[in-house]
Amino acid sequence: MAEDVEGLLPSVGRRGLMLVLSSPSGAGKTTIARRLLETDTNLSISISVTTRKQRPGEREGIDYRFIDEPRFLAMIDTGELLEHAQVYGNRYGTPRAPVEAALRAGRDVLFDIDWQGAQQLRGSAAADVVSVFILPPTVAELRRRLTDRARDDADDIQRRLDQVSDDVTRWPEYDYVIVNEELERSLAQVRAVLVAERLRWRRQPGLFQFAERFRR
């Protein structure tokens, strides 16, 4: 149940927001994103397009839309992407149309993207963006998480660890920063951010008309 949404007046209305989660690889943003989606019915994930190969267990149109390089470049040229980036040799991007439709309908959209994508979103839709950067507690813990998930080989793990020193310098660009030492606490902190940001007056277009009822 999305109790943080039910507290808002339906007559006032609300514009949705873009909740951006970024972190170094393995710091926990994807786990946090999945847990948020399981418990908040007003939050949906932005489905990215990517040129990387589909991994075992991934579903087309659910985890990603898998396209080739020429199609990706065409989407850039025609303005179909809100943001796009090249990460570890693969391209990722966010289709514009479904996100804008969700925001107009008062639904929030979750983005599990890196700092490059977050930077572009802020440039094109700053008023709609709420950004959270997630840090691991230590480098040793980050290495353990990358190893335990058994998704990458040793070279990939080291490459991702080497990238961390660059990625973590981006935290001051975000609205909020969370150190993901304990998952449940981190989840509660992100949920608190979401509740507060939904209550911002600029996201509730009917408030001006509603407040007029109290003027004499």
State pLDDT tens for residues 17-71: 999 999 887 788 889 999 999 999 999 999 999 999 999 999 999 989 999 999 9
Instruction: Kindly state whether residue 126 falls inside one of the protein's structural domains.
Output: yes
User: Residue 216 CB: number of other CB atoms within 10 A?
Assistant: 2
**Predicted structure pTM score:** 0.81
156-174 pLDDT, tens per residue? Answer: 767 767 677 778 889 999 9
Statement: residue 7 has pLDDT above 70? no
Per the structure, the count of domains in the chain is: 1
The confidence score (pLDDT) of residue 32 equals 95
In 3D space, the residue among 127, 124, 133, 136 whose CA is nearest the CA of residue 170 turns out to be 133
The proportion of the chain whose per-residue pLDDT surpasses 90, expressed as a percent, equals 61
How many angstroms separate the CA atoms of 79 and 47, rounded? 17
Statement: residue 2 has pLDDT above 60? no
For residue 23, give the CATH number of its domain. Answer: 3.40.50.300
Instruction: Kindly state whether residue 54 falls inside one of the protein's structural domains.
Output: no
Chain centroid to CA 5: how far? Answer: 19
Instruction: Kindly state whether residue 159 falls inside one of the protein's structural domains.
Output: yes
- Domain of 37 in residue numbering reads as 3-46+107-204
68 sits in the region (left: phi over 0; alpha: psi -120 to 50; else beta) called beta
3-state secondary structure 45-83: ECCCEECCCCCCCCCECCCEEECCHHHHHHHHHCCCEEE
